């Protein structure tokens, strides 16, 4: 079973996260950040990952530390669950519509950490959630998963729809990238022999 359990405790947050890459899309998420709970639940459902996350964070300051540390923990979990990455497809992509919003997500589990994100949120907040934290989450994930991640908003006028399209597209693209390719027969998907 390709799974991981991560515990990350700092002076600012206490994160506990479990991830199964070969799940059914079940999520139990309680991060203390309501909008992030919603996004992670969608990510798990659309990626068919089983995910549990709890976080106690210094949300009396703001949500930044919790969002970033959960991104770190999820990246660590993906890296741990994949191990040497033998037999995986490595690449995944998704062009996802969410009402008027349209988002492209492409993932390469290359071992090289890069985020390229182009998005223009019409509002600074979605409820109490700062829209700038979407990029913080994906930056933390990419760094710790060793992933190249491209997210591009192609259309959209509603901040909630844009963010939701990003997390759904991310789940679908990552699901494709971590899926096993029988033709690789356990090989590492790189001509270098390592990722």
Q: Please compute, for residue 177, the number of CA atoms within 13 A of its CA located in the half-sphere on the CB side.
A: 27
Tell me the three state secondary structure of residue 159: helix
* In the chain, where the domains are located: 3-184
Confidence at residue 128, expressed as pLDDT on a 0 to 100 scale? 95
CATH superfamily name and code, 3-184: Imidazole glycerol phosphate dehydratase; domain 1 (3.30.230.40)
Is the predicted pLDDT of residue 193 greater than 90, yes or no? no
Q: Is this model's pTM higher than 0.95 or not?
A: yes
The angle at the Cα of 55, spanning 96 to 58, to the nearest 5 degrees, equals 110
Give the pLDDT confidence of 168-179 residue by residue, as tens digits: 999 999 999 999
Confidence at residue 66, expressed as pLDDT on a 0 to 100 scale? 98
DSSP for 53-70, please give it: EEEEE-TTT-SHHHHHHH
Give the pLDDT confidence of 106-136 residue by residue, as tens digits: 999 999 999 999 999 999 999 999 999 999 9
């Amino acid at each position: 079973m390709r799974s991981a359990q991560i515990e990350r405790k700092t002076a600012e947050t206490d994160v506990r996260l479990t991830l199964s890459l070969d799940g059914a899309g079940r999520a139990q998420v309680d991060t203390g950040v309501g909008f992030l709970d919603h996004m992670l639940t969608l990510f798990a459902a659309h990626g068919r990952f089983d995910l549990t996350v709890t976080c106690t964070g210094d949300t009396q300051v703001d949500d930044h530390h919790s969002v970033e540390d959960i991104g770190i923990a999820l990246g660590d979990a993906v890296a741990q669950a994949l191990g040497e990455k033998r037999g995986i497809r490595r690449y995944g992509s998704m062009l996802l519509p969410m009402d008027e919003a349209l988002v492209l997500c492409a993932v390469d589990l290359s071992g090289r950490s890069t985020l390229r994100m182009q998005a223009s949120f019409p509002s600074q907040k979605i409820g109490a959630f700062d829209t700038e934290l979407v990029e913080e989450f994906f930056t933390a994930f990419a760094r710790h998963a060793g992933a190249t991640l491209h997210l591009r908003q192609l259309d959209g006028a509603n901040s909630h729809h844009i963010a939701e399209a990003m997390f759904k597209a991310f789940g679908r693209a990552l699901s494709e990238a971590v899926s096993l390719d029988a033709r690789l027969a356990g090989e590492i998907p790189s001509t270098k022999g390592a990722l």
